[in-house]
Structure 1
Amino acid sequence: MNDDSEQYPDADRDGPRHSSSARAQLPGHGMESESGPTPEVAYAVAMRHRPGRVFWISIVGVAAFTLWGALSPDGMATAMTAAMDVVAAKVGWVYLVLTLGCIGLLLYLGFGRFGRVRLGADDDRPEFSTWAWLTMILSAVMGIGLISYGVAEPISHFTTPPHGLADPGTTEAAVRALQFSYFDWGPHAWAVFGVFGLAIAYSTHRRGNTGLISPMLKPVFGKAMDGWLGNLIDILAVIATLFGTTTSLGLGASQITEGLNRVFGIPNELFVQIIIILGITVVFTLSALSGVNRGIKFLSQTTAVLSIFLGLFVLVVGPTGFIGNLFFRSTGEYLNDFFKTSLLTPLMAGDVEWYQYWTYFMMAWWLSWGAFVGVFLAKISKGRTIRGFVLGVMGIPSLVFFIWFTIFGGTAIKIDMEGDGGIGKAAAADVNSAFFETLEHLPMAGLTSVIAIILVVLYFVSGADANTFVLSMLTSRGTLEPSRWVLTVWGALTGTTAMVLFFAGGLAALQQAAMLSALPFAVIVGILGFCIVKTLHEDHDFDAYRKVRRKDLEELEARAEATIKKEI
């Protein structure tokens, strides 16, 4: 076992001996044979109230880092900035190569011979409807980015086109702005999540493993994953997950305070933001304790309905024709320059800063979220085929984000092109103001601003809710049923870490923490991709999916003749 080598005599007795109908009600439960769960899963469930060394080392590490930020915020900010400068200048290109590789891997698995493989037993079917599944993916994973960056990124690129590819404020700048927004929030992001999710779903639902990252690396490292090396991998997953999520909490708090300031006149101050993080932490911790079916599923479907309403409203009352034309032209530019944009790196020292703020930060952010999103996707995707999983995780969400960024970003761009550029100026001063500044130029600004605030809160809660569950699972030997006290600890620690980092250096400190924690994880993702392919090729259950080659028929005929001769 990963954490404790001692035998636990009550594992079988306390393990989940449910009937088949009862097991079907456990969301995300791994594939179980007729005799019950695998020994690893049974042990993890039986020991879920007694987390091992991964939990305690992670807690100590996070607590030490948080204490450093509380006692010496300036020292932390200086050290993190220096470290991030070195990472971006020396190995920033790794983030780009890795995310592009994830896209290629998912396309190979989804549309090759393994596309029909089911994530679970052959007779398993999805637990959640496609609608509920997609809404949970969108809202719990990156929903908060729709508000935080839906206007801020396109308008920023419009006023300052990336790499000097267009003149500021022109129609060409508008196209480039959406092209690079698609790059940051499209397949490159979702492919990282898909690789993690596919690996974890296959490992838990098909192979009967726990939900940890370490068992999936056994094709390369073997039994070393059962010892300290495996513990280290799981601890790195916990750290990356925590800091990736605290960045989202910081974005959410900033968006909520900006909205409250505009609608109700509440001061947009650090104290207010910290109070909001504190309040939301209580809410998402309670939501996590309620479970996926009652908590995240309800929140996700609510946010989906509100998001569709707000998007359609802006599409109708905004510059509809301009939005439609911009969407197709930007999509064409994105596809035409796909590989060029995917591998565009800085050659001059002065260019690195832009990459740190946009491209490198975005790609590192997705990597830091990989374990969290992967575990969550695996939990809700049992019974789906690999092809359906790839389409639902990389295809549909990318399209939704393309449309959303075009509607809101395109509306803001059109307003600035015909006005005084107020939205672009507001975004330059504070990216959190861009979305609400755009709504103020449209009818019913008060109502739509309130809806936007509600959306941010719900996205905030559903994302942090899922994160709390994943952190608890990763530090409870991979059981998909972590205990309530572990859930409570991670909910509180997530909120506390976000508040301390926000106090130490604001949103920049949160972004730097996410980028730095993602670097060691980049190596893990590369190895994980190799392990997925290796394991699928070695699994003889999938021989039926192979294309029959002439060589195979000749070998089969030769073996048959040899058998006949031997019998004669």
Structure 2
Amino acid sequence: MKKLTPVFMISVIISLAFILWGVINPENLEAVTGEIQGFITDQFGWFYLLAATGFLAFVIFLVFSPYGRIKLGKQDEEPDYNYITWFSFLFTAGMGIGLVFWGVSEPMYHFYEPAPSENIESQSIQSAGYALRYAFFHWGLHPWAIYSVVALTLAYFKFRKGTAGVVSAAFEPLLGDRVNGVIGTTINVIVVFATVFGVATSLGFGTAQIGGGISNLFGIDNTTGLQVIIIIVVTFLYMLSSQTGLDVGIRILSKTNIYLAIILMLFLLFSGPTNFIMNSFTQTLGGYAQSLVRMSFQLDTFNMESTWVEDWTIFYWAWWIAWAPFVGTFIARVSRGRTIREFIIGVIAVPTIFGALWFSVFGGTAIHLEYIQGIDVMGVMEEFGMETALFFVLQQYNFGWIMSFVAVLLIASFFITSADSATFVLGMQTTNGSMNPANSVKFVWGIIQSATAAVLLLAGGLEALQTASIIAAFPFAIIMIFMIISLMKALRRETIPERKKYKK
């Protein structure tokens, strides 16, 4: 614990204060954070849309620019991890548990309540197509571009310039030595705040889905008591994993996640309506590409009664920005030796295509069950909660019970890996960017994360804490804009490597 910084102490105090607030008066916490978040989305929704789309445009520019040949490290350095391991890290840290949770639920919601701007009838064949398109949109290029801006900037300054692995260090070209003062501490505290509460709320919701799976499989009521037991068990497992370091615990679990996810997806792809799924994937991918610009700027300005964009798109963009410090720091840590072009294509293209296929398989199957076969998937979600939707869909097919059990293992594995990754990132950010934070520091943050999820599950304050985390997205979006300016200032000073010449 000798390498602790003021960021650690300030962040711990803020975390404990919010936990106490959520326990003592969860209704007040929800009301206050909800009002602040409502004001931000109402008044600055345009800012989130422009920022997220601007981040995507920026990374696309880098791919096609000469800067793409610059390596994140010394120019002769090779990557630390092979592609399979690297992609498993990206998938696990980025949104793996979210895909499992929302794979069925989000397309079903859009199927029943399509975006008003599309002017299509609910529960129609048109709304089925648009349901998948918006799932692609919310989980595709934009969120991964948000992650890549933070990850690329941190990796560049850490591995090529040798700065500390904290977010504030990326501002050295703009602020000079002032990054070591109050401004730098403030930036890093915002990073830790967003990470702690973003991950804690995801752990809480992940716990609810594990409980839903256990309830579905074994007939046990998904009570708060069961969920607390799940948190205790999973906390023990991820704390055990966190003590083994990045190259053992997280690496093994990340690959396990990928294998389990592929097994689950292939099962439903070939057990379910295979032709319908692949047709949906192909058509929706084309529709997504065709409508990308229009959806990126859609605000429903002239429909004063609609809050659809605020409830979905703006919420998601804020949520991804709130997660960007955590995911970006972790992706940066495992990306040494990649060129900027290779990094961006890997971080954006691969997860986007995998996510699109995932939603086509799970969301497409759910829509087929509902619309074609007349099985009431939405009714189950409304009666038993959306955390049960995945298990209900799986059990419509042979070996569904076994696959539901695999799904519970996958969610638990994602849960453990996300928490493990978060303790690693929090350790880095509160020890001045140490590449291998002390186990004692990771232990402290692990306990804080789990305690936050557990006490707020009991107090009913998880959604309020999620809102509090998203509030941190607003200042961090501004921080990201200045990160881009700082990165470009540094890149302009680079000597661009020559193109590789291939023998004819």
CA shift in 2, pair 1:161/1:318, >3 Å: same
Aligned partner of 1:150 among 96, 100, 103? 103
**3-state secondary structure, aligned to 2:72:** coil
Which residue in the other structure is 1:350 paired with? 305
Normalised by the size of structure 1, how large is the TM-score? 0.85
Which residue in the other structure is 1:61 paired with? 14
8 Å CA contact retained: 2:33, 2:467 = yes
Give the fraction of aligned pairs with identical amino acids, expressed as a percent.
35
Amino acid in the other structure paired with 1:359: T
Which residue in the other structure is 1:40 paired with? none
Whole-Å Cα distance in 1 between the matches of residues 355 and 497 of structure 2? 37
8 Å CA contact retained: 2:203, 2:415 = yes
Which residue in the other structure is 2:243 paired with? 289
Which has the bigger relative contact order, CA under 8 A and spacing at least 6?
2
Which residue in the other structure is 1:269 paired with? 223
Which residue in the other structure is 1:378 paired with? 332
8 Å CA contact retained: 1:156, 1:428 = no
Aligned partner of 1:509 among 464, 487, 500? 464
Aligned partner of 1:491 among 438, 446, 449? 446
Amino acid in the other structure paired with 1:99: A
Which residue in the other structure is 1:329 paired with? 283
Which residue in the other structure is 1:117 paired with? 70
Aligned length: 497
Structure 1 residues 358-377: aligned runs within 5 Å: 358-377=312-331
After TM superposition, give the deviation of residue 245 of structure 1 in Å. 1.0
8 Å CA contact retained: 2:193, 2:469 = no
**3-state secondary structure, aligned to 1:144:** helix
Whole-Å Cα distance in 2 between the matches of residues 437 and 228 of structure 1? 51
Whole-Å Cα distance in 1 between the matches of residues 386 and 469 of structure 2? 19
Which residue in the other structure is 2:429 paired with? 474
Aligned partner of 2:404 among 449, 468, 473? 449
After TM superposition, give the deviation of residue 503 of structure 1 in Å. 3.4
Deviations 1:505-533 (A, max 9, x none): 35532431221121111110111112111
**3-state secondary structure, aligned to 1:92:** helix
After TM superposition, give the deviation of residue 57 of structure 1 in Å. 0.6
**3-state secondary structure, aligned to 1:240:** helix
CA shift in 2, pair 1:367/1:54, >3 Å: same
8 Å CA contact retained: 1:179, 1:334 = yes
Q: Is 1:438 equivalent to 2:402 in the alignment?
A: no
8 Å CA contact retained: 1:252, 1:456 = yes
Q: Is 1:88 equivalent to 2:50 in the alignment?
A: no
After TM superposition, give the deviation of residue 248 of structure 1 in Å. 1.7
After TM superposition, give the deviation of residue 345 of structure 1 in Å. 1.3
**3-state secondary structure, aligned to 1:182:** helix
Whole-Å Cα distance in 2 between the matches of residues 342 and 310 of structure 1? 31
Root-mean-square deviation (CA, aligned residues, Å) is 1.7
Amino acid in the other structure paired with 2:102: Y
Which residue in the other structure is 2:356 paired with? 402
8 Å CA contact retained: 2:89, 2:251 = yes
Amino acid in the other structure paired with 2:70: V
Amino acid in the other structure paired with 1:447: I
Which residue in the other structure is 1:537 paired with? 492
Whole-Å Cα distance in 2 between the matches of residues 404 and 178 of structure 1? 10
Which residue in the other structure is 2:414 paired with? 459
Which residue in the other structure is 1:31 paired with? none
Amino acid in the other structure paired with 1:396: V
8 Å CA contact retained: 1:186, 1:402 = yes
Whole-Å Cα distance in 2 between the matches of residues 119 and 312 of structure 1? 35
Whole-Å Cα distance in 1 between the matches of residues 29 and 162 of structure 2? 42
Whole-Å Cα distance in 1 between the matches of residues 66 and 492 of structure 2? 10
Q: Which runs of 5+ in 1 are unaligned?
A: 1-47, 547-568
Which residue in the other structure is 1:565 paired with? none
Amino acid in the other structure paired with 2:391: F
Which residue in the other structure is 1:70 paired with? 23
The 10-residue stretch of structure 1 (325-334 or 506-515) with the greater mean CA deviation from structure 2? 506-515
Which residue in the other structure is 1:411 paired with? 365
Aligned partner of 1:304 among 250, 258, 262? 258
Which residue in the other structure is 1:101 paired with? 54
CA shift in 2, pair 1:351/1:343, >3 Å: same
**3-state secondary structure, aligned to 2:195:** helix
Normalised by the size of structure 2, how large is the TM-score? 0.95
After TM superposition, give the deviation of residue 421 of structure 1 in Å. 4.7
Deviations 1:380-404 (A, max 9, x none): 1111111110111011000000001
8 Å CA contact retained: 2:153, 2:483 = yes
Q: Is 1:426 equivalent to 2:380 in the alignment?
A: yes
After TM superposition, give the deviation of residue 427 of structure 1 in Å. 2.8
| Segments ≥4 residues shifted beyond 4 Å | 543-546
After TM superposition, give the deviation of residue 268 of structure 1 in Å. 1.1
After TM superposition, give the deviation of residue 544 of structure 1 in Å. 5.0
After TM superposition, give the deviation of residue 543 of structure 1 in Å. 6.8
Whole-Å Cα distance in 1 between the matches of residues 49 and 233 of structure 2? 37
CA shift in 2, pair 1:506/1:158, >3 Å: farther
**3-state secondary structure, aligned to 2:306:** helix
Whole-Å Cα distance in 2 between the matches of residues 137 and 379 of structure 1? 11
Whole-Å Cα distance in 2 between the matches of residues 438 and 159 of structure 1? 17
**3-state secondary structure, aligned to 2:69:** coil
Deviations 1:479-528 (A, max 9, x none): 11211111100000011122233334355324312211211111101111
CA shift in 2, pair 1:120/1:148, >3 Å: same
Which residue in the other structure is 2:171 paired with? 217
